Structures are given as C-alpha cells and as structure tokens.
Amino acid sequence: MNESISPTNRISCCEPEKPMQKPGKPVYLKWEDWKRPLFSLVLLLGAIPLEIAAGEYFFYGWIRLIWYVLAYLPVAFPVLSRAWDLIWKGEVFTEFFLMGIATLGAFAIGEYPEAVAVMLFYAVGELFQEAAVKKAKGNIQALLDMRPDQVAVWREGKLHAVAPEQVNPGEVVRYKAGERVALDGLLQGEGGLFNTAALTGESLPRAIRPEEEVLAGMVILDRVVDIRVTKPFQESAIARILKLVQGASARKAKTEQFIRKFAKVYTPMVTYLALALVVVPWFFVPEYDFSTWLYRALVFLVISCPCALVISIPLGYFGGIGAASKNGILFKGSNFLDLMAKVNTVVMDKTGTLTKGIFEVVKTVTTGGSDDESWKSMAATLEQSSLHPVARSIVAHVSSGPMENLPEVTEQLELAGMGISGKVGHQTVLVGNHPWMQQHHVGGVNDTVDPGTSTIHVAINGIHQGYFLIADTLKADAKTAITDMKRWGVQEFFILSGDRQEVTDSVAKELGIPQAFGGLLPEQKADKLTSIQSEPGRIVAFVGDGINDAPVLALADIGIAMGGLGSDAAIETADVVIQTDQPSKIAKAIQISRFTRKVVWQNILLAFGVKLTVLILGASGMASMWEAVFADVGVALLAILNAVRIQYR
C-alpha cells in the first residue's frame, strides 16, 4: 500500500463503488396477496342481499351455483392444487386435503355460502400465518440483507471494488462513515466509533482503538477507516452467526417433533372418523338422512384440521430463536431452546466469563530498601516481548507513567506459568511468581497474596526489588446476571476455574456463589461437572469461553459459550453462543426460552381444548360450519398471534 497518497486522494482514486443499499422496512403482507380473498369476500357479501331480495326471482339454480363457484375458486384453487400435488407425491392426508373435501362436500349438499366462507377464512388464515412466519424470520433475514455486496480494498496503491469473498487475510479494506463492515479485521490508524447492534444487540456505540478487533456486521459511525482483514469472509463473525442460526431450524424441539408425528397420524384418523360419521348411523338411526350426516361429517373435517398446531408451534420456537438472536444470543436449535427452559443449575468458568479477562495492575510495592522504582521500568522492558496477558498488564501500567530508556534485552527465557528472565544491559532481571523466585534462589520474597489478586515479583541481580499486584476485574453485569438467573428459576451456582483457589473464592464471595473450585485443569473441570450432574433432578448449563472449556461445554446438558472473545473451539462445541460476552444474557436466554415454552403449551391446550369441544358438538349436530370455521381458522389465528408475542421479548 502506497503510504504517500493522502486520505483525500485515496478516496478519489477509487474505482466507482456500488452504493450501499440500506434495507427498507420489511413488508409482511402485500396487496397482491389480498386480491383473491377480497374478490371472494365481495362476491360472498354481495350474495347476501341477493339471497334475501331476489332468491325467488332469479338468484337460484344455476345462477346461484355459478355465483358461489366464482366466489369459491379464487381462494380454493391454490388449496386444491396444493392438495392435488401432495396426493401425487403420496401425501394424501394433509390440511389441504381436509379443507378441499369439506368445502366440495358442502357444495355437493347445496351449502354454498358456508363452503365459500370456510375456504375464504382458511385463505385469510394462511395469509396471516405466512406473515407471522416472515416476521419470525425477520431478525435473521436482516443479517442476510446487511451483508455488503462489495468492499473497497487497497491493491497496488488504489482502491478496488470487489466482492467480500475475494478479499484475502492481510489485505486492507476502507470503509466510509455509515458503511457496514464486511470482514473481520484489525483497525488501522486512529480509533473509531462503531455501532455493534447487529451482532450484540447493544444500543450504545462502542469505541474501538487501533489494532483492536472489528467484526463483520459492525457499522463505522464517525469517519473513514482502514481495516486489515484477519479472516476470510466464510469465517467472519457475521458468516458464523448466519451458519449457526440458519442451522437452528434443522434441530427440532421434542414438542415440535411430537406434534409433526402426531399430525401424520391424526389427520388420516379424523378422515376415517368423518367417513364413519356418514356410514355408521345408517345402521342405527331409524330416520337416517344422508345430507344431515354428511353435513356433520364435513363440519367434523373442518374442525379437525391440525393447522393451528402444525403452524403455531414451529412458529413459536422460531420466534424464540429470532428473539434471542435480536438480543445477541444464538441458539443452535429449538431443542436447546426447549432444554434451556428447564435449566436449574448453572456452572461457570471465571476468567472471561464472569471477569473481563483483562488483567490490571492494582498496586505496586517496592521492597528493595530504597525509593528507587526503576525496577518497574526494567520489568516492563523485559515483559514487552511476552504475549501473556499478565505481561501486557505490567507494560500498560508502567508505560502510562514516565518510562526510562533502557538497553536492549538479551538472553531472554520465558517459562509458561512461572515467569520470565533476561538481561537488561548488564543486569539480570527476573519477573514471575513465588516459585520462579525460589527456583532462582531469590531471598526475601513473601508469598502472602491479597484476596483476588496475583503477585508478580521482580528481582534484579538476585535481589528482590518489589512486586505487582494484578487483578482480573468482574464484568459490570456479573452480579446482575446471578440475581436475574435466580429470578428465572436457577437454584444452584458453581464456579469452576483454572485460577488459584483463593482468587476463585474472592470472585465467588463477591457474587454470592457458595460453591467455587479453583486450580482445575481441563480434565478436572470435566470430572467436577460430571459429579455435579450426577445429582438427580439437575439440568446443568455450563458457561465458558476458552479452548480449555470445550470438553466441559460438550459434557454439560447445555453448553453456553461467550462468543465475542471466546475461542473458536468453545463456540463450535457450545449449544448456545452469547455474542455480547455479557453474563446477564444467560438470564435473558433462560427468560426467552421459558416464555417460548409457556406460549407453545398455551397454543397446544387452546387448540386441543377448542377443537375437542366443537368436534363433540359437531358430531352431535349442535355445531354448524360457522363454529367449525372458528375452531379451525379462528383458533389458528389466535395461536399465531400468541406465538408472535415471543418476538418482542
């Protein structure tokens, strides 16, 4: 990239870019969809005065039949053609078949208005069902709509407009204020303000500093920025979200699976019962009238249509997944949504889950017998080449104040979990924990540790100079998360951490969690979780973010990964991903799942209760086709409207 080109010239030299298309407000019900039902409604309403005023003059016989056929066909044709197509495929007993038989039978016995009304209301119900499904998919479709078609990438000193899929890691992409980031990368140059709502649900913009990560789906708000791409488009945050959420529909909840299986048995069963309702009374009823019993059978068929269950229950679960994704929570299937509603025990990792995972120096103590604090600068100089989070916290702390110009570091040696050593000029510097100091025979080192902190000692030429007290601070909403989870039915909490027991206990005490286990290796975490799960009646969710949490996430009844900063292994293994890294979202996930389950069971009881009542009335001749319409279409609409409520949680 040619750095001599000014920012202004860089923009002007770019090839013509395709302007960003801002998605418009989605339309769930279109005028074209209503033409057929409105035409049928006008003819049906127009027939009422004709029946009253002209029934004896000309509105009878073939004229009356043709009028109602014209009213019937616009709404019936799509249903009948769909039924025919499914019959050819071997699927005879469907709701389309039931509605077709019921309405054609009504025509056969001369009940024209009722036949038209049943099919009209059914068609209107289908439109509302379709609109509700589109609304449920709206949050996920918004992710698809917001992917930019092209990005401006720097190549040979010029900006070229290319598809995101054609950009390679390491290349630099430019975005103007208001544009949406298409690929994950590191921010170059100055910092910027980004809208992260599409990924995290956060309403407030996030300030991102140079060399910090920017994720696909974020929107730059305040200026032109350059971002160095770190991942190909297929592995970007937004692509990962889409893959997770789109795959969710393939994993059905047990309730949803049962209803689908039930409908396959239920539909042919009620068809044969309706047939029996016509035939059997001929043997037992003295004054048997075929039209009367056929009418009752047709009413029976309309009532028994299972569309209220078949549509509203999957819609409820899909609405729950959509509501969760809007809040930055990704369920990998409705089965996990169902299971989350039953969780009564939550086990959590500490670092990166309850705490920020960003270490800070909270105190420094000089023990070298003088006021000379140059040891801090020497420690920071030695730590500059280390990638360990503790090393970075020391460098950040010391570099915030005056830092001496010290010689280059030589003979550097770092031992994971212990410390680092090296020569700064002619002086040997050691930075590390108490065992590291003991290993190098440094005297005067006190191993006492303040609760909740880690002690990093510094020695120069074998003499202890002082130490840093380093702490990992709690996330802002960690306490709220515990309180909210208790309110939503979680009874027990555990912390399993690889950190020292005293540090783990300090965090647990601050959060009011009585059971905390520290110093655990990954396999020990797995053993401890298995022990927790062995208690009868426990449904256990484990929350973690690191690669070492992947085995435990797989073992738990439901695994929850912190997806913003979490490892790819944890995210892939987990059943639920929290995009915002906020522990309070765990409570939100439980709330949405419990509400979804509640609505689904409300719909099941509503549908079965009303249908059973009207079925009995219809078979005994006490319910007409109009009651059947309510039992079918009316109940379906009520169930759909009830399910739509989930999307606003």
**What value does the mean pLDDT take over residues 203-232?**
83
Tokens 């001599």 locate to 4
Helix (H) or strand (E) segment spanning residue 245: helix 237-248
CA distance 635 to 649: 23
Number of Cβ atoms within 10 Å of the Cβ of 365: 12
Name the range with the highest mean pLDDT among 257-271, 333-347, 609-623. Answer: 333-347
**What value does the mean pLDDT take over residues 615-641?**
76
Q: Left, alpha or beta for 559 (phi > 0: left; psi -120 to 50: alpha)?
A: beta
Q: How far is CA 520 from the centre of its chain?
A: 30
When comparing pLDDT for 23 and 4, which is higher? 23
Closest CA to 468 of 481, 458, 483: 458
pLDDT digits (tens, 9 = 90+) for 56-65: 677 888 888 9
Tokens 């019959």 locate to 87
Q: How many residues comprise the chain?
A: 649
Distances (CA, A) of 474 to 187, 279, 355, 449: 26, 73, 4, 19
Whether residue 313 is predicted with pLDDT greater than 70 in this model: the reply is yes
What's the number of CA atoms in the CB half-sphere (13 Å) around residue 145?
13
Q: How far is CA 518 from the centre of its chain?
A: 31
Is the whole-model pTM more than 0.85? no
**What value does the mean pLDDT take over residues 200-229?**
79
CA distance 502 to 269: 65
Name the range with the highest mean pLDDT among 75-89, 228-242, 291-305. Answer: 75-89
Q: Would strands 409-415 and 172-175 be described as parallel, antiparallel, or unpaired? A: unpaired
CA distance 327 to 200: 7
Name the range with the highest mean pLDDT among 5-14, 179-188, 479-488, 523-532. Answer: 479-488
Beta bridge partners of 365: 467
**What value does the mean pLDDT take over residues 167-196?**
87
pLDDT digits (tens, 9 = 90+) for 392-405: 788 888 876 555 56
Q: Which residues contact 206 (CB under 8 A, 6 or more apart)?
A: 193, 194, 195, 196, 218
Could you tell me if 552 and 528 are in contact, meaning their C-beta atoms sit under 8 angstroms apart?
Answer: no
CA distance 157 to 168: 16
**What value does the mean pLDDT take over residues 29-44?**
83
Q: Would strands 515-517 and 492-496 be described as parallel, antiparallel, or unpaired? A: parallel
**What value does the mean pLDDT take over residues 407-433?**
81
Whether residue 473 is predicted with pLDDT greater than 60 in this model: the reply is yes
What's the number of CA atoms in the CB half-sphere (13 Å) around residue 636?
28
| pLDDT (0 to 100) of residue 6 | 32
How would residue 239 be classed by pLDDT, with cut points 50, 70 and 90? low
Could you tell me if 211 and 248 are in contact, meaning their C-beta atoms sit under 8 angstroms apart?
Answer: no
Could you tell me if 576 and 558 are in contact, meaning their C-beta atoms sit under 8 angstroms apart?
Answer: yes
Could you tell me if 504 and 353 are in contact, meaning their C-beta atoms sit under 8 angstroms apart?
Answer: no
CA distance 346 to 541: 5
Closest CA to 260 of 334, 341, 337: 334
Q: Left, alpha or beta for 249 (phi > 0: left; psi -120 to 50: alpha)?
A: alpha
Closest CA to 219 of 475, 352, 23, 358: 23
Could you tell me if 188 and 172 are in contact, meaning their C-beta atoms sit under 8 angstroms apart?
Answer: yes
How would residue 416 be classed by pLDDT, with cut points 50, 70 and 90? low
Q: Would strands 558-562 and 540-544 be described as parallel, antiparallel, or unpaired? A: parallel
Contacts 24+ apart (CB under 8 A), 566-575: 566/352, 570/544, 570/545, 570/546, 571/240, 574/332, 575/331, 575/332, 575/333, 575/336, 575/339
What's the number of CA atoms in the CB half-sphere (13 Å) around residue 25?
2
Whether residue 250 is predicted with pLDDT greater than 70 in this model: the reply is no
CA distance 298 to 104: 9
Q: What does the block give as tokens for 413?
A: 């040696």
What's the number of CA atoms in the CB half-sphere (13 Å) around residue 232?
4
How would residue 324 be classed by pLDDT, with cut points 50, 70 and 90? confident
| pLDDT (0 to 100) of residue 5 | 33
**What value does the mean pLDDT take over residues 491-520?**
86
CA distance 379 to 401: 14
When comparing pLDDT for 498 and 505, which is higher? 505
Q: Would strands 409-415 and 419-424 be described as parallel, antiparallel, or unpaired? A: antiparallel
Name the residue type at position 282: W
CA distance 280 to 380: 93
Quick check: is 349 catalytic? yes
Catalytic site residue from 184, 226, 338, 349: 349
| pLDDT (0 to 100) of residue 1 | 39
When comparing pLDDT for 103 and 373, which is higher? 103
Could you tell me if 477 and 584 are in contact, meaning their C-beta atoms sit under 8 angstroms apart?
Answer: yes
How would residue 532 be classed by pLDDT, with cut points 50, 70 and 90? very high
| pLDDT (0 to 100) of residue 200 | 52
Q: Which residues contact 447 (CB under 8 A, 6 or more apart)?
A: 434, 455
Closest CA to 542 of 356, 339, 359: 339
| pLDDT (0 to 100) of residue 559 | 87
User: Where do the domains of the chain lie, and which CATH numbers do they carry?
Assistant: 7-25+149-236 (2.70.150.10), 330-355+475-592 (3.40.50.1000), 356-474 (3.40.1110.10)
**What value does the mean pLDDT take over residues 241-261?**
55
Number of Cβ atoms within 10 Å of the Cβ of 234: 10
Residue 148 backbone dihedrals phi, psi, to 5 degrees: -65, 140
Mean per-residue pLDDT of the chain: 78
Name the residue type at position 591: Q
When comparing pLDDT for 370 and 529, which is higher? 529
How would residue 259 be classed by pLDDT, with cut points 50, 70 and 90? low
12-26, 263-277, 471-485: the lowest-pLDDT one: 12-26
Could you tell me if 453 and 503 are in contact, meaning their C-beta atoms sit under 8 angstroms apart?
Answer: yes
**E-assigned strand segments in 125-281:** 151-155, 158-162, 172-175, 185-188, 192-195, 206-208, 213-214, 219-220, 225-229
The shares of helix, strand and coil residues in the chain, as percent rounded to the nearest 5, are 50, 20, 30
Closest CA to 308 of 607, 43, 39, 47: 607
